[in-house]
Structure 1
Amino acid sequence: MKAIRLTGLTESHFPLSALAAFGLLRVCGDIETLETAKLGWEPDPEWTAVLYLPEGQDADRLVNALATYAANRLAAPEFNFAEELKRLRTDEFRGFAEQALQQTLAGTTGARITADFAAAYATERPPAGGRRTASGAGAALQPTLFHMVAGQQRFPGAIRQLLEGLGHATGRKVKPANERRRAIREALFGPWTYRDKQSSFGLDPSAERLHALRAIQPTREGTPPGVKAAIWLAIEALPLFPCYVAGGRFRVAGFDRDGTALYWPVWRDPIALDTLRSLIALGVHGGRQAAKRLRDSGAVEVFRSAREATTGHGYFTLRPATLWTERDEEAAMDVQAV
């Protein structure tokens, strides 16, 4: 296989770049010419993603294939079934998920991806101390912890806007296909210039605006800058982080029990998508034990990013990544005990 060093997806851009690398591998699995791709990491001088492509593929073919795929994603059911998850009734979301499941079982093209997104978007949570009826009455729809936007931003409506924006250059007249290729090449190979007017959906701590320290009101600043193709690829990683209920508690794969931090591994040897899915699933119970399981499974390092509120108005963000160590986690547990 041909190794492509992705110099834009580096440790300095964690957690967004890690999620983008995971999303890249998932998307490759959905493209016939790239479906056998594998992902690894090299630590020189910092952890950097390396994509292993089938023979006959190269960086240009990769970028072109991704640009074509991105253009077709605008019509995907998972980005068009609703404008805002938090405004959906449980029966409405259940209908969407059940339809995706039935189409998957029938072998409908693309239905499996839609079903995987449904599992990642939300789950039904029974009421505290109560039981859900056969019809689902009394259950509440709990969106994913990756839903970190509020106000005028909608989820997944804003994802559709992101896909539209991939083909629109800011302040320049460029063909949509060329702009998609430019944006994808920047995300994969850098440098990240942050010239795209695109919200990061809380996935990029570098894009956070500390409004209390600024002289301009947030409403007058417009859309913050971002790296739109990296954000798109990170969104494509959502199916690797399904929502579920365990012991009556809402959980999201990769996050700790309380939903306060996201954990993910890096490794050297190339692995396939199913292996990555299994690695992320090892961390579903969160905290020190989950991180230790990840490392024992062959992950060279485990990183952690806290999920915290930013404004008190429903917005959250993933904070800059830190390298997980057992000593750090034990210290945090001691503080909580006190």
Structure 2
Amino acid sequence: MTEPTRPGGTVPQSTAPRGPVLQIGALHPLVEETLAADHSALRLPADARDREDFLDRHAGEVRVAVCSGRTGVDRELMGRLPRLEAVVHFGVGYDGTDAAEAAARGIRMSNTPDVLTDAVADTALALYLDVLRRFSAADRFVRRGEWETTGDYPLTEHASGRRVGILGLGRIGRAVAHRLTALGCEIHYHNRRPVPGAGHRYHGSPAELAAAVDVLVVAVPGGPDSTALVDAAVLDALGPQGFLVNVARGTVVDETALVAALEEGRLAGAGLDVHRAEPHVPPALRRLENVVLLPHVGSATVQTRRAMAELTLRNLRSWLADGTLVTPVG
């Protein structure tokens, strides 16, 4: 195969020796152990001063970077790695990598789709049930001894048979819709364009979708194109009886607008697995009893993370062998 042309010439043909590999940030133990044992991978230091010294010595050697989707390879680091050919992501998201810059430089990217779909969809369902029925809050009520001192817990919202909007009807969005259909929910959705054969009602904008439903589930990819896609206008369209569930990326929701809507009673509640500046979560969100907060655990099952690790390594081995990726992005 012929490798893509990049500024300054072409990268080596697929039959040329490839390596070394650069690990960026912490990864699944299986990935880290295999990178070290099988590929003698370099590891980018976390400390800024050590990183500069490291790049001065090794930047010209690196051909493949392996990282999580959140860590990624930004424009600045990409510019420091003149021979970089591929970025192999552990995760379905890759918003930590400057995808436009990678495309301009002819750098290929991979991710780990499909293997985490069910785990993330299960998380969305759990958040959906929790934020409507207030199970986590009721648990805290019991643990504080309030059941004994104040009587029954307040009534909550029915979860079955609701109108639910899916923002992003991709693999995960469709899996969420499938689960909610089993609860008798009426599914609506918004994508950049209608999905043929989806069997659900399409709406032309996020705000239009939000206005038509009781609960909005966010499942779009992260990145510049979806930043603050759920803004104040969308939250206002969802309204004071509406609920938000986010299993996408924290950057997809305008966090400031979300806090204001919740504090002012313009939104009934939110279930959030992801946050804008992880691991920081605003104190205002942590104080609210009508908000369910998870520490980005959507795909965090033993089985899913193992499958993600294996697919990450398959992509790496494939690239090193012949310059192809098992699950390329784009």
TM-score band w.r.t. shorter chain: under 0.3
- Highest RCO, 1 vs 2 (Cα 8 Å, sep ≥ 6): 1
**TM-score using structure 1 length:** 0.26
Q: Which of 1 and 2 has greater Rg?
A: 2
**TM-score using structure 2 length:** 0.27
